[in-house]
Structure formats: structure tokens, C-alpha cells
Amino acid sequence: MIFDHRTYTCRPGTIKKHMKLYEDHGWAVQSRHLGTPVLYGAVETGDVNSYVHVWCFDSAADRAEKRAAMAADPEWQAYLKISAEAGYLASQINTILTPAPFFKTPDRG
């Protein structure tokens, strides 16, 4: 099992606009391909122009397969185009994590 932890930073004053754009154009297609994330939330302290989402996959191969299918989906490509044109995102950091041996992974049902 692996976790894909992603932190995105928006230009100041645009995070609410970006989250609405994602809700309207990205959420359905992304969750259709990747399932329900473990977490999807806005940062409340620190860099408040950021948001984080964490996805759980069975393996690196499972992640690659699901992300490739999403990347090939015309609906996802349309979202990426709309997002790029809006220009709200400033940076992105992706981290792959493996759970500690004692951690009980959440039920993804």
C-alpha cells in the first residue's frame, strides 16, 4: 500500500476560486479514476494559500495504471485546460509515502 500526498499552492487570493473550479470540473472525473481520497482539505495554518490531498493505492503499479487512465480521459484533459487557463496554481509538491508497520490502513470501501 502507498499514499500519494499532494500539496498545491495557489496564488494569493485565488484558492476559493480554484477549489470551486475543481469541484465543478475536476472532482467527479478524478474520483471516478482514483477513488475517494483519504483526505482533501484546505490548509488552515501556515501557508493558507495551499491545499492537500492524499490518495491511497495498492501499489506503485496500481497508482500508475489509475493515473494513466485518468490522464487519457478527455474530461480530465478538459479540466486541466480550464485550470491552466485560470492560472490559479503556483506550485505543486508530490510525495509518495508507505505506511508504518503498525499503522492500520483505512477501509477504502
> What residue segments make up the domains of the chain, in order of their start?
2-97
Taking alpha carbons only, the member of 65, 56, 49, 58 closest to residue 12 is 49
Helix (H/G/I), strand (E/B), else coil: 36: coil
Give me the long-range contacts of 24-28 (CB less than 8 A, separation at least 24).
Answer: 25/78, 25/79, 25/82, 25/83, 26/76, 26/79, 26/83, 28/75
Q: Is the pLDDT of residue 25 over 50?
A: yes
Reported as a pLDDT band with limits 50, 70 and 90, residue 46 is confident
| CATH fold group of domain 2-97 | Alpha-Beta Plaits (3.30.70)
pTM flag (> 0.85): yes
Average pLDDT, the chain: 94
Give me 47's grid cell: 501557508
| Amino acid letter, 73 | D
Give mean pLDDT, residues 81-108. 90
CB 8 within 8 A of CB 26: no
* The amino acid at 54: V
